[in-house]
Amino acid sequence: MALADILVHMDGSSNCSARLDVAIALAGRFGARLTGLYVITHQYYQPRHGRAEKAAAAVRQLFEKMTAEAGIPAEWQCVDWSVIGVGMTEVICHHALYADLVIVGQAGGTGKDKEIPADLPERLVLGAGRPVLIVPYAGMFPTVGERVLVAWKAGRESTRAVNDALPLLKKAQRVNILAIDSSETYEDDGETLCSSISEHLERHGVRASGERMMAGSATVGDALLNRACEEGFDLLVMGAYAHTPQGKMALGAVARHILAQMTLPVLMSH
């Protein structure tokens, strides 16, 4: 299992260059082909006078310059999607069918394209069928995936995320599994829960240490971000969606908090 094709969503936001840096570093690390995808959508009819095309051309120049300097195989795709009612999420999900990893920016920040949905990251996690790496809109990230923190809660969501993160975990220098407040949810204790997933990962060649931690007065999301900051992790792996008691699919409270307050790249999967 490896990353052979990586798809990075390109736009006119201020953090696009940092996101591309992350994508290029991962493509070089895995020997993967990198596709830069720029989407022009038409939510309603209006004369554009070439503004969208000019914006796309500027981003393409950045993409081709940075990938050429890095010496990685790369392809630029600008999709001018003229079908009314088909949004950016659907277009990216279609192209994600042919990628092993999708990289997208965190919602918010300055200079954000108004046509980009504010909830694009979580919609991609649900619809892409691929692991999605979300890069914060603030900061630079010279390494991603060398020191990995896994947010673990025994269940489908965490299991899916860990499985999809295996290529990254296998190349990581350090992998820590953290179960927060697990004693309130499970009869088993956190150390045993982490031990079971650690043993599973070891059979895949991943050495991981496990730990149970009580969040205390902090939220689980803040506890995860604090631990990541204190110990210098450069990637957080976690699940996102879960079934509500009514049987509906919803973004979990912890995932929602992380997506709003993230300070490091986060890999989510569904």
Which pLDDT belongs to residue 47? 54
Mean pLDDT of 9-29: 95
Residue that wins the pLDDT comparison between 152 and 112:
152
Burial 180-191 (b: 16+ CB within 10 A, else e): bbbeeeeeeebe
Band (pLDDT 50/70/90 cuts) for residue 1 is low
Band (pLDDT 50/70/90 cuts) for residue 109 is low
Cβ atoms within 10 A of the Cβ of 65, count? 11
Classified as helix, coil or strand, 202 is helix
Domains and CATH numbers, the chain: 5-135 (3.40.50.620), 147-269 (3.40.50.620)
* pLDDT (tens digit per residue) in 63-81: 999 999 999 999 999 998 7
CA angle 187, 176, 124 (to 5 degrees): 90
> Can you say how many angstroms the Cα of residue 100 is from the centroid of all Cα atoms in its chain?
12
* pLDDT (tens digit per residue) in 156-205: 899 999 999 999 999 999 999 999 864 454 445 545 578 899 999 999 99
Classified as helix, coil or strand, 155 is coil
- The pair of structure tokens assigned to 27 is 């493509």
Q: Please tell me the chain's helix, strand, coil percentages from 3-state DSSP, rounded to the nearest 5.
A: 40, 25, 40
Q: Kindly report the pTM of this predicted structure.
A: 0.91
